[in-house]
Structure 1
Amino acid sequence: MPKLEGIYQSLSAFMPLLATLAVMASGLWFANWLLLRRASLTTESRLPGQVTMLVLTAVALIAVILALPVSESTRGDLLSLLGLVLTGVIALSSTTFVANAMAGLMLRAVKSFHHGDFIRAGEYFGRVTERGLFHTEIQSEDRDLITLPNLFLASNPVTVVRSSGTIVSCDLSLGYDVPHYDVEPLLKEAAQAAGLQEPFLQILMLGDFSVSYRISGYYPQVKQLLTMRTRLRKEVLDKLHGAGIEIVSPAFMNQRQFRDGEKFMAPPKLPEEGIAAPQAPEALIFDKADRAEKIQNLENEVQSLAVEIKVLKERQQACADEAEAGVLKGDIRQREERLASLENIIRKAKEPTP
């Protein structure tokens, strides 16, 4: 009987631990099924569940340690050991597991891209299909799925094609015997025929044997970006070949024979009066940067007005002349109206755009 009583006392001492293990295991299983195992969940919607499961697992470990039938000092030592182990795991895996998780949370907080966006990171280009806690999946031009660690996206520049439209371009090289003023209307016509808006031409480089051009235009329907690039190249070929202009490579060396004293160049174009200069494309290309600069200038003006209003109010309080005080009051009211108008403009300018 004494032996049975000892066994019973030993088992009773472990009952809180066994009950805690049963409750924690059941709770983690149910939470895993509820948060992660449902078939309707996508990788994007699993992210909050994955974070929650990590927190619940840590809570379960702490609960099990607290339920152990040991002394308070031993329990404190075990909790300290658990803290050291977790700290070591985080330190040792900071470049992989935890780092990818932190990068995933950072990317979600920044919100630089969303599902369906075209992105380029390093040598990889494609549309975003899934965004998880540890990785981001994109679909390439070959229809292949590429899994990129979130740490890679967080540590490398990511180019995002804006959903409101982008610039589609085509680079080509032409000989020096082809006048640029004959090339420009043909290339702009090709861009318009391809469906691009506001086309513009850039001369990229004057090479040893050829001139490098870039024809660009605005394209609002980014979902057919690859088709538009191909269409633009087709139109460039058709327009230039139709006009009898040959396209050469950057390494093309023209060795045609010509008479002594003959210069191998196109005739210059004289300026024409009454023709407005073409609009610079920078306003279209750097619209977000221009808006940021204007907002910064407005905020600087707001700060200057706030300082001026403060100085005028101090002068008004110290002024004994009623006429001068009235003038100061009018100046303050005028600046306050301007300040309210600027704050309203800045608030509207900062509203997010696609």
Structure 2
Amino acid sequence: MTNSSTNSAQQSILDNVLGALLPFAPLLIAIVFVIGVLVALHYILLAKQSHLTSEQKLPRQVGMLVLTIVGAVVIAMTLPVSESTRNQVIALIGVLISGVIAFSSTTMVGNLMAGIVLRVNRPFKVGDFIKVEGYSGRVTEMGLLDIEIQTESRELIAFANTLMVNSPVSVTRASGAIVSVDISLGYDIHHSIIEKHLLVAAENAELTEPFVQVVGLGDFSVSYQISGLLTEVKSLLSARSRLHKAVLDSLHNADIEIVSPGFINQRPQPDGLKMIAKMPHQATQEETSPEDVIFDKAEEAEKKEKSKESLMQTIADIDAKIAESEGEEKAALKNKKATAEAQLSALVQTKTKEG
């Protein structure tokens, strides 16, 4: 009787425990399922892809964030509480998310969301010439929270992503940029003669499709603007300097003075002498490109970005060939892929250390 009573008591306690835990079964299953799915996706999308840069990981990280929120809602729907309480919990999650978004304009989340917008719209990329808030230069980095540019004085300036989204940004097109020079000349020379020599100057400066405009008629001089298309935008600074020199040479070689009509020289000069600088007869020295010094970081960043894209495309092509190959050819392709992945990983690690 004692053993039977003991067994009955233990069975009763076990039934009570199981009865108490049974309502929590859906919750436990949901928690295990959500955590398992999130861990597996994190390993597949992020942990396993060590060669991806922070910029390439951003869409995957955002996707994981969305899935985490969905998982939290799924867990909340399985809570062993009344329907009204469950709805309140789900509403609380929605309020928290809404609050984060509402305050995102002045917080780190705002810059993160602006960074997502910039990567979706892609108004510019690393290496492009841009102008924002009175600053101009080449883009060196596009981070999760800010954009860094290198100015013409070789300074590095970081702009918050929210500023880049809310402010007008001028981007020099990769297909070419217009280079212009303004110059004022007297009324004593017909504009057709000036136009002819300015067009010659633009051609000597290696600009295509040049054109001349009369932009102003002053009291003492006429304002001209000579413009041309520069297809190699990386040499924008050199092209401007080259056009200025070409304008000087073209007008002076045509015996046209570039001087104010009110010019007065107190030194006695023979009649008919014109103030024109003569070309020296010595061999001209080869000019160095100022862009190599000014935009060194931007140039290096652009080269690494192109190398990274090339390696990723190579890996994708190899994957496509591996699926169609067999035997020794497949093994050789796998070795080639491993080499490309090692190069890509080394490139990403170098960029991370420099950052």
TM-score, normalised via structure 1 length: 0.56
1:89 matched to 2:100? The reply is yes
1:45-56 aligned at under 5 Å gives the runs 45-56=56-67
Offset of residue 155 of structure 1: 3.0
Structure 2 Cα separation of the partners of residues 29 and 207 of structure 1 = 73
Structure 1 Cα separation of the partners of residues 163 and 80 of structure 2 = 46
1:36/1:126 CA distance change after superposition, 3 Å: farther
1:245/1:31 CA distance change after superposition, 3 Å: farther
Residue deviations 1:49-76 (CA, integer Å, cap 9, x gap): 1320220221232234235443333222
Structure 2 Cα separation of the partners of residues 51 and 95 of structure 1 = 20
The one-letter amino acid of 1:256's match is I
1:275-314 aligned at under 5 Å gives the runs none
1:1-354 aligned at under 5 Å gives the runs 24=34, 27-28=37-38, 31-32=41-42, 34-36=44-46, 38-94=49-105, 100=111, 103-104=114-115, 106-108=117-119, 110-131=121-142, 135-176=146-187, 179-243=190-254, 245-247=256-258, 254-256=262-264
Structure 2 Cα separation of the partners of residues 54 and 131 of structure 1 = 21
Residue deviations 1:309-353 (CA, integer Å, cap 9, x gap): xxxxxxxxxxxxxxxxxxxxxxxxxxxxxxxxxxxxxxxxxxxxx
1:3/1:129 CA distance change after superposition, 3 Å: farther
Q: Which runs of 5+ in 2 are unaligned?
A: 1-10, 266-355
Structure 2 Cα separation of the partners of residues 140 and 181 of structure 1 = 38
The one-letter amino acid of 1:126's match is G
Residues 127, 139 of structure 2: 8 Å contact kept: yes
TM-score, normalised via structure 2 length: 0.56
1:137/1:61 CA distance change after superposition, 3 Å: farther
1:18/1:136 CA distance change after superposition, 3 Å: farther
Higher relative contact order (CA 8 A, sep 6+): 2
Greater Cα shift, 79-88 or 101-110? 101-110
Report the number of matched residues: 255
Residues 43, 131 of structure 1: 8 Å contact kept: no
| Percent of aligned pairs with the same amino acid | 48
**What is the root-mean-square deviation in Å for CA atoms of aligned residues?**
4.0
Offset of residue 199 of structure 1: 1.5
1:255/1:229 CA distance change after superposition, 3 Å: closer
SS at match of 2:180: strand
Offset of residue 164 of structure 1: 2.5
Structure 2 Cα separation of the partners of residues 140 and 42 of structure 1 = 25
Structure 2 Cα separation of the partners of residues 93 and 156 of structure 1 = 17
Offset of residue 79 of structure 1: 0.8
Offset of residue 193 of structure 1: 0.8
1:60/1:76 CA distance change after superposition, 3 Å: same
The one-letter amino acid of 2:52's match is L
Q: Which runs of 5+ in 1 are unaligned?
A: 258-354
